[in-house]
Amino acid sequence: MNIFEHHLSEIKKTILSEKDSLKLNNLDNLKGINLEIPPEQFNFDLSCNIAMVLGKKNKINPKNLALRLKDIFLEKIKNFSEIDIAGPGFLNIKLSKSALFKNINLILKNDNYGSSNNNETYNIEFVSANPTGPMHVGHCRGAIYGDVLANLLIFNGNIVTKEYYINDYGGQIRNFVESVHYRIIEIKYKKEFPKKENLYPGSYIKDIAEKIINMNKKSDFEDFETNFEFLKKESLKLSMELIKKDLKLLGISHDNFFSETEIVSKDLVNKAVNKLKDKKFVEEGFLQPPKGEPNKDWKKIKRLIFKSTMFGDDSDRALQKNDGSWTYFANDVAYHMDKVNRNYKNLINILGADHTGYIKRITAAVSALSENRIKLNCKVCQLVKLFKNGEPFKMSKRAGEFISAQDLLNEVEKDQIRFMMLNRSNDVELDFDFDKVKEKTKDNPVFYVQYAYARINSLLRTLNLNLLEKLNFIENNINFNEIEIKIIRKIFEWPKIIESASRKFDLHKIPFYLYELSTLFHAYWSKGNDDKDFKFIENGEIRRKEILTVINLVAIVLQNGMGILGVSLPKKM
């Protein structure tokens, strides 16, 4: 239920019926007309730009048109009780008392207030951390972003598959397995771990090695090549167990795990390339040297090239390396062909900060593979900078000095991590301060939102009530005060926040909104300390039934919002 859509529909219907009397010849399907929440100083429920939009299209002075629209709307739309004209022609609208109550009642009857019934299919690929060890903090932001995006889409009635792409093929995996092998040799045969480039020296490699030894005590691991496939299988299995454990601690689970090795074993690259060849999107040719890079090592070698410039990329892309083997991009094309063949209507990839330059080519590949039927939407999560006691933490996974997800969880709780990782837009760097997220003050947003819900429940316990109890509305007997009206208007805004966050995947809008709503509620709660007319309870009874209405509205939105974020709402704090 979205009051903006409902009342905008009333406005448009009225305009269509009155277009002749208003001399509106160009309506252009009433595009560009919208309803918003007006600035607080105007003390109105809605604000509409219709006079300016139609005035421009029909060459009518917007203020003159606004005056005529004001009279017509007040006569024809019974849900409007007062209209004021502001600025260049904005119509600020106050709802009638009956409309206000109708909207409130609809919210209280709707457990999923703010959601929409979209019913589309999505595949969201996120995390996809290389299975060479446990997750580090850099992975956490994308992991939480992907999980919350899935929650938001599900809240809106969509069918979502959460997928993890396991990069378990190639040189980095060989380096990882070799590192485990050398640790096994070190532990079992007392040989020193070599100072060799590209090895993983982290302590978790020792843990993996010890587990493999304990499970295979009679095995001889001295020859690397002989044991490679076995060690690869066991090392990756144990590494993925570490990653899944970290994800679970963050409240994240995936529906599907897709292996890069599976792409190779099923010959999916050849199938994808042949499909693109049939469509004339792949050809043999020569690439130009990379722009802005030294060309002394560049070799002009004929190879298979994907004509990605046909789909908006900056340059065509090689599918083969100099030695004729497939590029990483070719494997990725094959993986996305598999996703296309699974008939999702929407594909979403959550990428790390170092993958920005990869977006155009893989988006082009999906367009080519799906004949522009399916759009791939890539969202990049920028870096996370950790601070503790005012000092920055540094990460280096290969050096074994990274801050793992487990390290982070040892310092702060899951709820704090999930909320704060979303508290800024994904496309800007995030400063995560261990000390600030532990504060129990207004400056800690997650605490302040949770505290609002805890206060609501403490009030209900005092009254021996549950949410939504004793809410029988009698319009003539209810009058909301100015603080309650502010909160109700904020509640009305919730579907707009959901719609906006869903349209561009701007998830940070949700925690921002919840913090603003909680701030209003805390001000409402504290007002009673200064003014007895604003006290909630008197002689063990609720002073005004309006109070129960407002706290129920706030509770509904907090439950839905924090549910989307995957953050708990404790009833006591």
The pLDDT assigned to 470 comes to 62
What does the block give as tokens for 263? Answer: 């792409």
Least confident of 319-323, 530-534, 548-552: 530-534
To the nearest whole number, what is the mean pLDDT of the chain? 92
Q: What's the one-letter identity of residue 45?
A: D
DSSP 8-state class, residue 77: -
The pLDDT assigned to 147 comes to 98
Would the pTM count as exceeding 0.75? Answer: yes
Which listed CATH number (3.30.1360.70, 3.40.309.10, 3.40.50.920, 3.40.50.2300) goes with 3-95?
Answer: 3.30.1360.70
Provide the percentage of residues in the chain whose pLDDT is more than 90: 74
Burial of 193 (0-12, 13-18, 19+ CB in 10 A): middle
Q: Where are the alpha helices (DSSP H) in 342-384?
A: 359-370
Domain locations in the chain as residue ranges? 3-95, 121-166+254-381, 171-249, 445-565
The answer to whether the CB of 202 falls within 8 A of the CB of 397 is yes
What's the CA angle centered on 274, arms 270 and 277, to 5 degrees? 140
CA distance 36 to 456: 28
Give the number of other CB atoms < 10 A from CB of residue 509: 17
CA distances from 132 to 213, 216, 242, 283, 553 (A): 18, 21, 10, 35, 47
The pLDDT assigned to 477 comes to 75
The string of pLDDT tens digits covering residues 365-417 is 999 999 999 999 999 999 888 888 888 866 544 445 667 888 888 889 999 99
CA distance 421 to 417: 6
Q: Which residue has the higher pLDDT, 402 or 534?
A: 534
Q: Looking at the structure, give the CATH architecture of the domain made up of residues 121-166+254-381.
A: 3-Layer(aba) Sandwich (3.40)
Average pLDDT, integer, range 293-316: 84
Task: Taking the CA atoms of 189, 193, 197 and 202 in sequence, report the sign of the dihedral they define.
Answer: positive
Strand partners, 83: 93
Please determine, for residue 92, whether its predicted confidence score (pLDDT) is greater than 90: yes
Please identify, in words, the CATH class of the domain defined by 445-565.
mainly alpha
The string of pLDDT tens digits covering residues 123-158 is 999 998 889 988 888 899 999 999 999 999 999 999
CA distance 44 to 221: 76
Short-list 374, 368, 379, CA closest to 344? 374
Please determine, for residue 40, whether its predicted confidence score (pLDDT) is greater than 80: yes
The pLDDT assigned to 399 comes to 41
Radius of gyration of the chain (CA): 29
Do 3-95 and 445-565 show the same overall fold?
no
